[in-house]
Amino acid sequence: MQEITGGVAAPIGFTAAGIHCGVKNKNPEKKDVALIYSEVPCAAAAVYTKNRVKAAPIWVTMENLSDGKAQAVICNSGNANACAPGGTENAKTMCKAAARTLNIPESDVVVASTGVIGQPLNIGVIEAGIPALVSALSKDGSDAAARAIMTTDLMKKEIAVRFNLDGKTVTMGGIAKGSGMIHPNMGTMLCFITTDAAVEPVYLRKLLLAAAERTFNRVSVDGDTSTNDMCAVLTNGLAGNTVIAAEGKDSEAFLDALVHVCRYLARCMAEDGEGATHLVTAKVGGASDNETAAALSMAVVSSSLVKAAMFGADANWGRVLCAMGYSGADFRPEATDVYFRSKSGEILVCSAGTGISFDEAEAKRILSEKEIIIDIRLSEGGGTGEAWGCDLTYDYVRINGDYRT
């Protein structure tokens, strides 16, 4: 597998675009509507937020994808179209307007929104902008699309990979947005993945769920899960592989690529968490099983106290143990070792569940790097897991103390 450029427009038959339509009316420089298009219909699948309060575009996309088919994705930023008057109608209008200009069925459009909740979507500017958006579609358009779905994100999240499948060269691309309200089960994240592989849609959803469980569901920025979020995959089959419909060598290769793409985008979300200055990875080894390791690692990256300690480069491992303790997962504190690691080195700070004396200056140096690994070693079995988060900073408070106004 090889990383390449081109993002969601890298696979054969896909193009993308992102322009300013006026949803983010405060800043005409900012792109606010993205479009991804396949020249042929795709088998498609998505996973959605588990929040009981779901934004209108989520419901509309669920309906549109119920036949496992899609050909385009339209997404605006700046307004979540959640708990907003006329939400469903506006989401449908976005599909209709895109479909009409692209000359495809309205039900083959995936629609998504992200931004502030509860305010009416300015659907007029989106409708008016669609002809320009469709005209802008190109093989170079992924960058613009990736930027058009950003809210408080500081960096664009985009990747593409090339790999072999069934003797064919297959390409997969992805873009995502994250930032705040990131937590398992699709907390404010949007992710759109395209590929020219051929996959049967019901099986595709199964593979997507497996990939999300190991990647997006292991990211926490602030413990809040959002109303809007989804990860959708469109597979147009133009690479010419035999359709993947069951477990086997091909599905494994496809899943590997999907996990690679999702893992990269998930880590980007953690790294670009609102206000974040550190990417924090919690790794757990020696757990009784992988599920336990996942629960423990998620509790550690989700703890406000661990996150604040990481901000302060403070080797406060007691908070790591404490978070593991309330995770609900089974482990023996008295058989737990904790290391902090970064490119500056590694230091053991807790052995057999008890504090040991260590060089505080060295720990501080290690924790001052941008990327920190909290490495937790248990003695229960062979279960491993990792989760990604970020530190809790003054900027997180600043951004979220006045996001709407």
Binding positions for substrate: 151, 177, 188, 274, 400, 405
| Tokens encoding 290 | 């992988």
Least distance in Å: CB of 51 to its own copies? 4
| Spatial contact of 45 and 73, defined as CB atoms under 8 Å apart | no
We find the least distance from the C-beta atom of residue 246 to its own copies, in angstroms, to be 34
Angle at 157 between CA 155 and CA 158, to 5 degrees: 135
Residues designated catalytic: 188
* Gap between the Cα atoms of 171 and 9, Å rounded: 10
Sequential DSSP letters for 97-164: HHHHHHTS-GGGEEEEEEEESSS---HHHHHHHHHHHHHT-BTTTHHHHHHHT-SS-SS-EEEEEEEE
Residue placing its CB nearer to its own copies in the complex, 133 or 363: 363
| Least spacing, CB of residue 256 vs its own copies, in Å | 31
What is the Cα–Cα distance from 351 to 367, expressed in whole angstroms? 19
Cα Rg of the chain (Å, integer): 21
| CA triple 258-261-262, angle to 5 deg | 85
The residue with tokens 């550190």 is: 278
Please, which residue, 194 or 217, has the CB nearer to its own copies?
Answer: 217
Nearer to its own copies, 243 or 322 (CB): 322
How far is the CA of 324 from the CAs of 122, 224, 298, 335, 366, in angstroms?
Answer: 45, 19, 9, 13, 22
In whole angstroms, how close is the CB of 402 to its own copies at the nearest point? 4
Q: Which two tokens stand for residue 162?
A: 């090339």
Q: Which residues bind its own copies (CB under 8 A)?
A: 50-54, 80, 82-85, 116-120, 180-181, 183, 185, 222-227, 302-305, 308-309, 311-312, 314-319, 321-327, 330-331, 333, 350, 353-355, 360, 392-394, 396-405
* Residue with Cβ nearer its own copies (52 or 103): 52
Q: Which amino acid type is present at position 85?
A: P
How far apart are CB 311 and its own copies at their closest, in Å? 4
Closer residue to its own copies in complex, CB, 167/401 = 401
CA angle 142–147–152, rounded 5-degree value: 150
> Nearest approach, Cβ of 380 to its own copies (angstroms)?
13
Q: How far is the CB of 396 from its own copies (least distance, A)?
A: 7
The torsion angles phi and psi of 66, rounded to 5 degrees, stand at: -65, -20
Torsion of CA 233, 235, 239, 244, to 10 degrees: 100
Distance CA 13, CA 33 (A): 21
**Of residues 85 and 382, the one with the C-beta less far from its own copies:** 85
Which residue number, 132 or 305, has a Cβ lying nearer to its own copies? 305
Alpha-carbon distance of 10 to 7, in angstroms, equals 5
Residues annotated within a binding site? 151, 177, 188, 274, 400, 405
DSSP H/E element including 44: strand 33-48
CB atoms within 10 A of CB 28: 10
